Chains A and B, each alone.
Chain A
Amino acid sequence: MDKTQNNRAWFLVLPVLVLVAFSAVIPLMTVVNYAFNDTFGQNQFFWNGLGWFEDLLASDRMHEALGRQVLFSGIILAIEVPLGIYIALNMPKSGFWSSFCLVLMALPLLIPFNVVGTIWQIFGRVDIGLLGHTLAAMGIDYNYTNDPLDAWLTIIVMDVWHWTSLVALLCYAGLQSIPQAYYQAARIDQASRWSTFRYIELPKMAGVLLIAVLLRFMDSFMIYTEPFVLTGGGPGNSTTFLSIDLVKMAVGQFDLGPAAAFSLMYFLVILLVSWVFYTVMTTLDKQETK
């Protein structure tokens, strides 16, 4: 078929380009500007080349924050993904209880992030919080404001509470798309529960599971509001994740140059990991088809 070629059609992309320029490209360029320059105010800039980047790459502070961040994302993925799958598998498939569960599961997702932080901040307090007080009453020495381990546990439980629903709901949608005949065939073939999961449910869930893992990775890697409200990055620096550190650097210390360089690297890391992740998964998918 002959297609009409008219290069003026490119102009139709213009409004989007303008929008993206103002919302993303230009602000990002300001960050780039700060990242390669040093300034003492009054809009006077001095070229600093890769200085900020070199400083940051050598700084222990950045390494520790990155380490905490990777550990945190790893832990919550390791908990939320299997737990989400497990919940999805055991949810009622139809009827009133199915709708009930769906609404119940969606609730944590609808709560604003800083409210989630506040809820857990109060919930965990030893003096007035239900959780903290109960634990204290049981004789358990729990205090998330003093003990780094307690702070970590509280943040992880909070994140699991907040986000496992997302994984579960996505998996549930994947499971609902499996025709009944597959389960019947599995029963006829005398497949065990594990085989049914491994050969029917998991392959059909793989697509949505990929999205769930990707979303949870990105979100957890960028997490800011909830731990900031809950612990403010403490005790000490024990829960200072990358974004909390970044805000401390930019807004607290007003080190705009290093903060800008930090932002760029942060952004590139997330972009890179997501891209690698996506590429690996899609090639695996293609190989399976062959």
Chain B
Amino acid sequence: MARITLSNLAHSYFRSPKSEADFALKEMDHVWDDGGAYALLGASGCGKTTLLNIISGLVHPSQGRVLFGDRDVTNAPTAERNIAQVFQFPVVYDTMTVRENLAFPLKNRGMDPAYIQSRVAQIAAMIGMEATLDRKARGLTADAKQKISLGRGMVREDVNAILFDEPLTVIDPHMKWELRTQLKLLHREFGHTMIYVTHDQTEALTFADKVVVLHDGRVVQMGTPEELFETPEHTFVGYFIGSPGMNLLDAEIHGDHATIAGGTVPLAATYAPQKGRTQIGVRPEYTEMTTGIGLPARILRIEDVGRHRIIRAEVAGSQISVIVPEGQPVGADLTHVRFDPARVNVYADDWRVKGASA
């Protein structure tokens, strides 16, 4: 086990990348602490898998270094890094039984047969496959195969890190919950560094202590689920995390207030004048419809999602969402929208601007 450091790292799939757009991963410095449970969150195609493959050594980065502890492993082959990785789609060795599949990584490391036996039994119990241990892996269903892949990922106790690349995509929903809980337990018990790639925010937020949000080949924010929710550092984080995502409105910033199409929105802090495109972002949870205070808004439709209702409304030409707690009546007299000043974030060219408290 070791701390994993990515230093000055960048990767491009082109042999001679010309511009920044050619890079699948933009230059980054990042540290994964030993024993952390991380979720790597981002839309499809943002470089999550590339980043994972660079850590495990399946892909050699175009520039920069990868360090395990103090050791530079940038040029070390995958096998030498002793890392476990579970892929999005099941990979099992067809001609082996389930037991042989689980034992394979241990056997390759020349472990003691008695130890292999007991460890395989332990893992089989964890993934709930004790009954099928002696079956050939070939005829099994996709989710049984994926459970074997997961088991193979977890079977080595001495790995430097376990990387999960959207491992639960093919698993059915109730098993998903179960396996995620198992992974979490496993993390508590053994303290492996775990990096869990997903584009599902629920999965990320329930699994991880720290969530790393990747957007367009760049780490835009790393933080606890709460930090990501309250103070998204980038508009992408605001929009991607939360259901529905953050409301973003083009606004002019004037010190302690913002103006949107002539209307004024008070801010909890004072901001220096900003260059570029300025926006304010407020979570639907901190937005409310009023009968006259705030900005004029037009209700487009109301969605009932069970626990609460979501109002989709239009403000100054942009769509926003408002979460209405259960029981609160919604009527035609709600013609304005108000934001909680303490929860309004200011963005300049998509990045959050810190204000000086008034």
Docked-complex contact B138 and A185, CB < 8 angstroms: no
Interface residues, chain A, CB within 8 Å of chain B? 179, 181-182, 184-185, 187-192, 195, 199-200, 203, 288-290
Whether a CB of chain A sits under 8 angstroms from the CB of B32 is no
Closest A residue by C-beta to B58: A184
Whether a CB of chain A sits under 8 angstroms from the CB of B75 is no
Give A182 to B56 CA distance when docked, in angstroms. 15
B58 vs chain A, min Cβ distance (A): 5
Whether a CB of chain A sits under 8 angstroms from the CB of B330 is no
Docked-complex contact A203 and B85, CB < 8 angstroms: no
Of B35-43, B86-94, B177-185, the segment with at least 4 beta carbons within 8 Å of chain A is B86-94
User: Which residues of B have CB within 8 Å of A192?
Assistant: 108
Docked-complex contact B91 and A181, CB < 8 angstroms: yes
B54 vs chain A, min Cβ distance (A): 13
Closest A residue by C-beta to B110: A190
User: Which residues of B have CB within 8 Å of A199?
Assistant: 93, 95-96, 104
Docked-complex contact B58 and A189, CB < 8 angstroms: no
User: Which residues of B have CB within 8 Å of A179?
Assistant: 91
Question: Could you say which of A184, A190, A191, A290 contacts B87, with CB atoms under 8 Å apart?
Answer: A184
Question: Could you say which of B91, B96, B108, B138 contacts A190, with CB atoms under 8 Å apart?
Answer: B108
B6 vs chain A, min Cβ distance (A): 19
Question: Could you say which of B84, B89, B139 contacts A188, with CB atoms under 8 Å apart?
Answer: B84
User: Which residues of A have CB within 8 Å of B138?
Assistant: 288-289
Binary contact readout B51-79 vs A (1 if CB under 8 angstroms, 0 otherwise): 00100111000000000000000000111
Question: Could you say which of B77, B136, B139 contacts A187, with CB atoms under 8 Å apart?
Answer: B77
Question: Could you say which of A185, A203, A290 contacts B94, with CB atoms under 8 Å apart?
Answer: A203
User: Which residues of B have CB within 8 Å of A195?
Assistant: 104, 108
Whether a CB of chain A sits under 8 angstroms from the CB of B129 is no
Docked-complex contact B108 and A188, CB < 8 angstroms: no
B344 vs chain A, min Cβ distance (A): 45
Give A30 to B95 CA distance when docked, in angstroms. 49
A96 vs chain B, min Cβ distance (A): 15
Give A289 to B95 CA distance when docked, in angstroms. 8
Closest A residue by C-beta to B96: A199
B158 vs chain A, min Cβ distance (A): 12
16 A-B contacts (beta carbon < 8 Å): A181-B91, A182-B91, A184-B53, A184-B87, A185-B149, A185-B152, A187-B78, A188-B78, A188-B105, A189-B104, A189-B105, A189-B108, A190-B82, A195-B104, A203-B93, A289-B138
Whether a CB of chain A sits under 8 angstroms from the CB of B28 is no
Docked-complex contact A290 and B108, CB < 8 angstroms: no
Docked-complex contact A289 and B139, CB < 8 angstroms: yes
B313 vs chain A, min Cβ distance (A): 46
Give A243 to B178 CA distance when docked, in angstroms. 67
A-B interface contact total, Cβ < 8 Å: 60
Question: Could you say which of A181, A187, A191 contacts B89, with CB atoms under 8 Å apart?
Answer: A181
B257 vs chain A, min Cβ distance (A): 54
Docked-complex contact B87 and A200, CB < 8 angstroms: no
User: Which residues of A have CB within 8 Å of B18?
Assistant: none
Give A288 to B96 CA distance when docked, in angstroms. 9
Given contacts A187-B79, A189-B152, A289-B136, 20 further A-B contacts (CB under 8 A): A184-B58, A184-B78, A184-B87, A185-B87, A185-B149, A187-B58, A187-B77, A187-B78, A188-B85, A188-B105, A189-B105, A190-B78, A190-B82, A191-B104, A192-B108, A195-B104, A199-B104, A203-B95, A288-B94, A290-B139
Whether a CB of chain A sits under 8 angstroms from the CB of B307 is no
Docked-complex contact B56 and A190, CB < 8 angstroms: no
User: Which residues of A have CB within 8 Å of B133?
Assistant: none
Whether a CB of chain A sits under 8 angstroms from the CB of B174 is no
Question: Could you say which of A182, A188, A289, A290 contacts B83, with CB atoms under 8 Å apart?
Answer: A188
Q: 3 nearest interchain CB pairs?
A: A187-B78, A185-B91, A190-B79
User: Which residues of A have CB within 8 Å of B96?
Assistant: 199
Closest A residue by C-beta to B89: A181
Closest A residue by C-beta to B83: A188
Whether a CB of chain A sits under 8 angstroms from the CB of B301 is no
Whether a CB of chain A sits under 8 angstroms from the CB of B109 is yes
Docked-complex contact A191 and B83, CB < 8 angstroms: no
Give A189 to B111 CA distance when docked, in angstroms. 13
User: Which residues of B have CB within 8 Å of A203?
Assistant: 93-95
Closest A residue by C-beta to B94: A203
Closest B residue by C-beta to A189: B105
Docked-complex contact A288 and B136, CB < 8 angstroms: yes
Beyond A288-B136, A289-B139, A290-B139, whether A191 also contacts B95 by CB under 8 A is no
B355 vs chain A, min Cβ distance (A): 47
Closest B residue by C-beta to A180: B58
